[in-house]
A and B are shown apart, each in its own frame.
Chain A
Amino acid sequence: MLQIRRDLVDAIWAHARRDHPDEACGVVAGPEPAGPPERHIPMDNAERSPTFYRFDSMEQLKVWREMDANDEVPAVIYHSHTATEAYPSRTDVSFASEPDAHYVLVSTRVPENTEFRSFRIVDGEITEEPVEIVESYMFTHTGADDVPDRAAERD
């Protein structure tokens, strides 16, 4: 399940609507190892295309280094589809490279659409997951220091 704060959802929608008809893309960083999503980072779509997106490579390096330095991970990787539904395309699946991220899709095909969907994409398999939009992460951890170090167990 993806639990995400309403202000982050609103920020993703604002970005998607601003860039329509081009696809919008970005990241919401969260503390290692698994979130919750905290810090919205709208990215440039280097392709500036209504049918394709790609993070600008230099911006990606800068943002990934920042996350590394902050002990953050890309908890959410989002993009918009501007003429099709909010579901991962074959292209999305073939490029999905963060097995621990929530891949969020929104569709701006219809202006009143509010479909905000989240998927795990691992080894070419798409698994949709429920999305819970919350006002705050009141009962969840708020910083990396509060999260037990599960990386050691995982490795």
Chain B
Amino acid sequence: MAVTVSIPTILRTHTGGEKSVQAAGSTVLEVIEDLEAKHGGLKERLVKDEKLHRFVNVYVNDEDVRFAGGLEASVADGDNLTILPAVAGGMR
């Protein structure tokens, strides 16, 4: 199952500068595993302790996967998966 993955600026060092890459999988985790196989180093930027990193947003089409099963969220052929680092901070 082919999905198009949008890569944020900060992770493009792993994709040779590409904004968008193809990957396969039927869940978010499978897509990330496939990305890791093709573009080593991406997985550790996205996954921590077998969960999606707290400050990374992953969307399947228009849905934030955090509210749709996290890494187990299902992905269908032709879907778009978007990765955006959360924009966050604080005084401490």
Residue of A nearest to B88 (CB): A54
- Interface range for B: 20 to 34
Please, how many angstroms separate the alpha-carbon atoms of A88 and B92 in the complex? 9
Q: In the complex the two chains form, is A60's CB within 8 Å of B57's CB?
A: yes
Residue from A60, A81, A88, A91 in contact with B87 in the complex, judged by beta carbons closer than 8 Å: A60
Q: Size band of the A side of the interface?
A: 20 to 34
Stretch touching chain B among A1-9, A10-18, A95-103, A124-132: A95-103
CA distance A89 to B92 in the complex (A): 5
Instruction: Flag if A95 contacts B86 (CB, 8 Å).
Output: yes
Interface contact A97-B87, CB-CB below 8 Å: yes
Contact indicator A54/B87 (Cβ below 8 Å): yes
Q: Which residues of B contact A88 (CB under 8 A)?
A: 89
Q: Which residue of A lies closest to B64 (CB)?
A: A57
Q: Chain B residues in contact with chain A, CB under 8 A?
A: 8-10, 17, 55, 57, 59, 62, 64, 66, 82, 84-92
Q: Measuring CB to CB, which residues of chain A are less than 8 angstroms from any residue of chain B?
A: 23, 25, 43, 47, 49-55, 57-58, 60-61, 64, 77, 79, 81-84, 88-92, 95-100, 155
